[in-house]
Amino acid sequence: MERETGAREGLKGWLNPSKIGKFGIERLAWLLMRLTGLGLLAYFIGHIYETSHILDGKAVWDKSLEMTQTTEGHLFLALVIGMCVFHTGNGIRLMIAQMGYGIGKAERPDYPYKPQSINMKGKACIYATLGMAALAMWYGMAVMFA
Amino acid sequence: MATIHPKLSDELSQTVVSSTKSVKIKIKRSNPNVNSEQKFDDFVVPIEKWTTVLDVLLDVKSHLDHSVGVRYSCRQASCGSCGMKINGKPGLACFTKISELDSDTVTVEPMDNYPVVRDLAVNMDRMINNHKKVMPYVIREDSEIDAESGIREFLQSPENVDKYIQFSSCIKCGLCNSACPTMAMDKTFVGPQALAQAYRYIADDRDKGKNKRLKVIDESHGIWRCHFAGSCSQVCPKGVDPAMGIQLLRGYLLGIRD
């Protein structure tokens, strides 16, 4: 495809909070999907690094585990739980939609042209996924801070 | 300091005029061919309840500043020329009434993800080129003009027409490409406009060029870069719903849908 120089919004187009207000919950879901994906990738790399300490003996391993046994560590892990649940739930929604299901049926458009692909089923799934992520974070914190 | 429309100045001096309301319009000005300066010029213009953003811009051009650069033609949401960012959201200036914006100040900027030509006019070469690349026409070996029987028609049932008619309403205004977050980052993404048009012809049972068309879009910066943010469909002024076309096309490519 043709390359074009300049004239792209870049990261500003992703992160500008006013876009979410103007383009709805689907845009928020899209942004969170990107951010949680990057967050989970960073966590995965950190997790591999942390668990590799097991090769350095019990003392080193215990010390590395202590990193997450703090208030900040617990909050971080709660965030990871939230990211995991949201990314999974929203990913399933997207996979179904991207196979062409739950996005309505092509038909003759009538004014005022409500897009069928942006429908209540999709919105309900996004809200449910956000709710599940919040619930999982709350449960995780309840266990970790008990 | 906003430039005030002469009609409103008259109003201040007790001259009877039909309009009692006014709007402040902030127009983003730039001319990349001259320098990189960008600024907003403010104008106060009288409005009626039916006044569109394009009416206001043309009023500014007629009475306050002739140099404002804006592209327009049909004034009835058919040509797709007057796409711009209105209060932060892509829209057609001729299809957006000031009254529905519910704001005393209206900010107009050139569409995102397009190079600016001047002020509100943008260069749409990339979109048009990508549109051409998906071969937006019916591809067949045979012709409607037959040597033996003269002219014939490729008949279709109304059900088959319904499969693509929605996507044939595209007026190439480019609002979908402007709203798309992938277009904001990916220099080579084919864009929702072209993808929806690819689906329009693939869903057309007269067309026999599926494989040629799929070759263009089934690549790393093609259809798989769409992540279904749905912003393209939110801004489409003609009900094309490009996001739906893209997902249906993806289902077809995956072999899940007909």
In terms of pLDDT, which residue wins out, B152 or A87?
A: A87
Is B176 an interface residue toward A (CB < 8 Å)? Answer: no
* B15 has a pLDDT exceeding 70: no
Show the domain range for B107: 3-122
Residue B166 contacts A where some CB pair is shorter than 8 Å: yes
Q: Is B176 contained in some domain?
A: yes
Write the CB contacts of B87 (distance below 8 Å, at least 6 apart in sequence): B101, B103, B106, B107
CB contact residues (below 8 A), chain A span 81-100, against chain B: 94, 97-100
For chains A and B, CB pairs below 8 A equal 160
B221-243: average pLDDT:
95
> Based on the domain organization, do B76 and B161 belong to the same domain?
no
Is 90 exceeded by the pLDDT of residue B44?
yes
| Rounded CA separation B24/B38 (Å) | 19
Res. B46: pLDDT tops 70 = yes
Q: pLDDT class for B3, splitting at 50, 70, 90? A: confident
Q: Is residue B114 part of a domain?
A: yes
Q: B131 with B115, same domain? A: no
Could you report the per-residue pLDDT of A8-67, keeping only the tens digit for each? Answer: 777 777 787 777 788 999 999 999 999 999 999 999 999 999 899 889 999 999 988 888
| From A1, A29, A117, residue closest to B247, measured CB to CB | A117
Phi/psi for B113 (5° steps) reads 70, 15
User: Residue B230 sits in a domain of what CATH number?
Assistant: 1.10.1060.10
pLDDT above 90 (res B5): no
> Would you state the pLDDT for residue B153?
83
Q: Are residues B106 and B44 in the same domain?
A: yes
Does residue B118 sit in the same domain as residue B134?
no
**Residue A4 in domain:** no
Hey, what are B258's tokens? 């007909």
Rounded CA separation A68/A111 (Å):
55
Contact (CB<8Å) A24/B115? no
Q: Is pLDDT above 50 for B150?
A: yes
B129 and B241 part of one domain: yes
Q: Which are the contacts of B240, defined by CB distance < 8 A and separation ≥ 6?
A: A109, B166, B167, B169, B170, B176, B196, B233
Interface probe for A, chosen from B247, B250, B253, B254 (most Cβ of A below 10 Å), is B247
Q: Does residue B258 lie in a domain region?
A: no
Please list every residue in chain B whose beta carbon sits closer than 8 Å to the beta carbon of residue A1.
Answer: 130, 133, 188-190, 219, 221-222
Share of chain B above pLDDT 90, in %: 81
Q: What is the pLDDT of residues B161-202, one digit of tens each?
A: 999 999 999 999 999 999 999 999 898 999 999 999 999 999
pLDDT in tens, B79-117: 999 999 999 999 999 999 999 999 999 999 999 999 999
Residue A96 has pLDDT above 80, yes or no: yes
Q: Is residue A4 pLDDT above 70, yes or no?
A: no
pLDDT of B17: 52
- Residues of chain A with pLDDT > 70, as a percent, come to 95
pLDDT at A120 over 60: yes
In this structure, are B232 and B141 located in the same domain?
Answer: yes
pLDDT at B6 over 70: yes
Q: What is the mean pLDDT of chain B?
A: 91
Instruction: Tell me, yes or no, whether B31 lies in a domain.
Output: yes
Whether B72 maps to a domain, the answer reads: yes
Q: What is the pLDDT of residue B53?
A: 98
Q: Do residues B48 and B38 lie in contact, with contact meaning Cβ atoms separated by under 8 Å?
A: no
CATH of the domain at B104: 3.10.20.30
Q: What is the pLDDT of residues B192-224, one digit of tens each?
A: 999 999 999 999 999 999 999 999 999 989 999
The rounded radius of gyration (Å) of the Cα atoms in chain A is: 20
Domain carrying residue A93? 15-144
Of A1, A7, A19, the CB nearest to B130: A1
**Position B192 in a domain:** yes
Cα separation, B120 vs B107, in Å, equals: 11
Which residues of chain B does A6 touch, with a Cβ-Cβ cutoff of 8 Å?
115
Tell me: do B118 and B205 sit in the same domain: no
> What CATH number does the domain containing A28 carry?
1.20.1300.10
pLDDT band of B20, cuts 50, 70, 90: confident
Same domain, B7 and B88: yes
CB within 8 A of A79, min separation 6: which ones? A39, A137
Q: What is the pLDDT of residue B1?
A: 67
Q: What is the pLDDT of residue B16?
A: 47
Overall domain count for chain A: 1
User: pLDDT at residue B242 above 70?
Assistant: yes
ipTM of predicted complex: 0.87
Average pLDDT over residues B36-52: 95
Residue A78 lies in a domain: yes
pLDDT band at B125 (very low <50, low <70, confident <90, very high): very high
Residues B64 and B182 in one domain: no
Q: Which of B99, B122, B145 is the last residue of a domain?
A: B122
